[in-house]
Amino acid sequence: MILVVCTGNICRSPMVEAMLRHHLAEAGLRDWPVASAGTLGWGSASMTEESAQVLEEYGVAAHDHTSRKLTPEMLDAADVVLGMTREHIWGISARSSDAESRAFVLGELARLGEKVGPRGDAPLREWVAEVDALRDVRRMARSDDELADPLGEPIETYRKLAVRADAQVRRLVGLLAGR
């Protein structure tokens, strides 16, 4: 399972979750479970209208989303956890030290995954462990790996976020699908 994490689980993580589902299905990995949650979680809130609109512009189905608060159980079940910023990775690590080696900023996993190469037939957790071995001991993603919070910003900010998120998701899905 791939778990996508942001702060409130109403902007970035549901958008990336939908993009992942879409591109995984296109790559023939339709059965891979993808979920999202928030480090703060907003308790049963919907995805922002801006996130849903941008997904529609991309031709990606905006699923019926209800925000969820991140739990240790979710982290235990995930093969890989994708945060949008370093702060999310710190929040993940605080909830589950076991998940720390499987928690990456989205762009970081795509960037380092390219050094490991396509997953091939390896189980996802094994491929993720290979990628984790490439990180420096501080586990600090680069700032250009991060996706900033667009909440409260105009739709153009969401569109710019979507361009970056879609590129990172496509890079990652290509690696996961073995391309």
Q: 43-58 pLDDT, tens per residue?
A: 788 999 999 999 999 9
Q: What pLDDT is stored for residue 130 in this prediction?
A: 95
Q: What pLDDT is stored for residue 138 in this prediction?
A: 60
How many whole angstroms separate alpha carbon 21 and alpha carbon 27?
A: 10
Please enumerate in sequence order all residues whose Cβ is within 8 A of that of 131, keeping only pairs 6 or more positions apart, or say none. Answer: 104, 109, 112, 113, 115, 116
Q: What pLDDT is stored for residue 75 in this prediction?
A: 96
Output the CA torsion 121→125→128→130 (10° steps).
Answer: -70
Q: Determine whether domain 2-176 maps to CATH 3.40.50.2300.
A: yes
Where do the structural domains in the chain lie, given as residue ranges?
A: 2-176
The low-confidence residues of the chain, meaning pLDDT below 70, are: 41-42, 137-142, 179
| pTM exceeding 0.85 | yes
